[in-house]
Amino acid sequence: MLDGDGNIRTIDFTLKPVVDQQGNTALIIPEGRDITDLKRAEQETLRHHKEMAHVTRLSTAGEMASGMAHELNQPLTALLSYCGTAKSMVNSMSSPPPQLGEILERASEQAHRAGDIIRHLRDFVSKGDNHRKLLDLDQVIRDIIIFLKHEVQASDVRINFYPGSHARKVMADKMQIEQVLINLVRNSLEAIGGAKISEGQVIIQSRLLSNDSVEVTVSDNGPGISPDMVDIVFHPFQTNKPSGMGIGLSLSSTIIETHGGKLRVDKDYQNGALFGFELPVSK
């Protein structure tokens, strides 16, 4: 019900019967008790419990990420060593196989990239924002499109980018923002590929908002987000991928939140999926 100020109040109504001498109900008296504050306290307690559970899951994910980073460093170092040896052997050949040197160079670049990602991930779960600097988000997006070039070509999906941040810069960790964008684009590529959609398309857009922040959206023409996942898509360990762990979007959401923004999914987007986030422009 509404009180005199137009606020919604929760009332617990009971009906108290009054019986006569013969034991018959002669009158029913309604009694009401305002339990608005009690309900609010219960909702606040429930919200707090959910937040604590979310923090606990993220903490567990962070510990897993840190452990994985430590374990992966050694094989990545070995991989770089093998690539270096193989490139030296190719250079010493009089007529090496076509494109072999380029393939080895590409493998070495990806190994270096993986090492950088692991180091920044470990820094993220332990140190926070020590690597932030002024970034042009449009340029960051161009960089990740180049980085994903070979994956996009293999998937036969077209990526279109429409820049609109007008060179306004944000204070952010480049590697972490790249990881968010790469995760969103890869999710689109996997969704389109899994649904075997021909003429797949991913659209990345940036624009300057009136609240002096930059919005970036990643949309696709894939199968979209299933109704049972749309409300929990950012929860840790929630995924509909057969081989996925459900950490990517949760970690991406946390990264954006630590940068003063919020990662969102458009529940009403038709003919695919749309994710977006905003970051405040640096003064």
Residues 132, 124: contact at Cβ < 8 Å? no
CA–CA gap between residue 240 and residue 244 (Å, rounded):
8
Residues 49, 34: contact at Cβ < 8 Å? no
Q: How many CB atoms lie within 10 A of CB 180?
A: 27
pTM of the model: 0.57
CA–CA gap between residue 168 and residue 33 (Å, rounded):
55
Q: Shortest CA distance to 147 belongs to which of 116, 122, 110, 92?
A: 110
Tokens 């690539």 locate to 83
Residue 55's pLDDT is 57
CA–CA gap between residue 51 and residue 18 (Å, rounded):
47
CA–CA gap between residue 118 and residue 104 (Å, rounded):
21
Query: Measuring CA to CA, how many Å separate 269 from each of 164, 190, 240, 278?
Result: 21, 18, 19, 18
Residues 18, 28: contact at Cβ < 8 Å? yes
Digitized pLDDT (tens) for each residue of the chain, 283 residues in all: 566 677 777 777 777 777 777 778 777 777 777 777 787 777 777 776 666 665 555 556 666 666 777 778 788 888 889 888 998 898 888 888 888 888 888 888 888 878 877 776 666 555 554 578 999 999 999 988 988 887 887 788 999 999 998 889 999 988 889 889 998 999 899 889 888 888 899 999 999 998 889 999 999 999 888 877 777 777 755 555 544 434 578 888 888 988 889 899 988 888 899 999 999 998 7
Residue 98's pLDDT is 80
The CATH architecture annotation of domain 55-126 reads Orthogonal Bundle (1.10)
Residue 137's pLDDT is 93
Q: Shortest CA distance to 154 belongs to which of 196, 201, 180, 189?
A: 189
Indicate the domain borders of the chain: 55-126, 132-280
The CATH architecture annotation of domain 132-280 reads 2-Layer Sandwich (3.30)
Residues 276, 207: contact at Cβ < 8 Å? no
Task: Record the tokens describing residue 136, joined without a space.
Answer: 């042009």
